[in-house]
Amino acid sequence: MDLSTELKGRDFISLHDFTRAEISLIIDTAMGLKKELKSGILHPYLAGKTLGMIFQKSSTRTRVAFEVGMYQLGGHALFLSPRDIQLGRGESIKDTALVLSRMLEGIMIRTFSHDEVLELAKWADIPIINGLTDLLHPTQVIGDMQTITEYKGGVEGIKLAFVGDGNNVAHSLLFGGAKMGMHVSIACPPGYEPDAGVLRLAEEDARQSGARLSVVHDPLVAVEGADVVYTDVWASMGQEGEAAEKEQHFMQYQVNKRLMSVAHKDAIVLHCLPAKRGKEITDEVLDGPQSAVFDEAENRLHAHKAIMALVM
Contact 271, 229 (CB under 8 A): no
Cβ atoms < 10 Å from Cβ of 234:
25
Helix extents (H) in the chain? 20-38, 61-72, 93-100, 114-123, 138-152, 168-180, 196-209, 219-223, 243-250, 257-260, 283-286, 293-311
Which sign does the torsion angle of CA 185, 151, 61, 105 carry?
A: negative
Distance CA 104, CA 46 (A): 12
Phi-psi group of 254: left, alpha or beta (phi > 0 → left; psi -120 to 50 → alpha; rest → beta): beta
**Active-site position among 137, 183, 302, 304:** 137
Is 137 an active-site residue?
A: yes
Contact 124, 107 (CB under 8 A): yes
**Active-site position among 16, 110, 171, 183:** 110
| Residue 239 DSSP one-character state | -
**Active-site position among 61, 300, 302, 304:** 300
Is 254 an active-site residue?
A: no
Distance CA 114, CA 308 (A): 20
Is 188 an active-site residue?
A: no
**Active-site position among 114, 146, 232, 271:** 232
Is 63 an active-site residue?
A: no
**Active-site position among 56, 144, 205, 272:** 272
**Active-site position among 56, 140, 146, 254:** 140
Is 110 an active-site residue?
A: yes
The number of CA neighbours under 13 Å toward the Cβ of 179 is 23
Contact 72, 47 (CB under 8 A): no
Contact 229, 260 (CB under 8 A): yes
- Give the residue numbers marked as catalytic: 110, 137, 140, 232, 272, 300
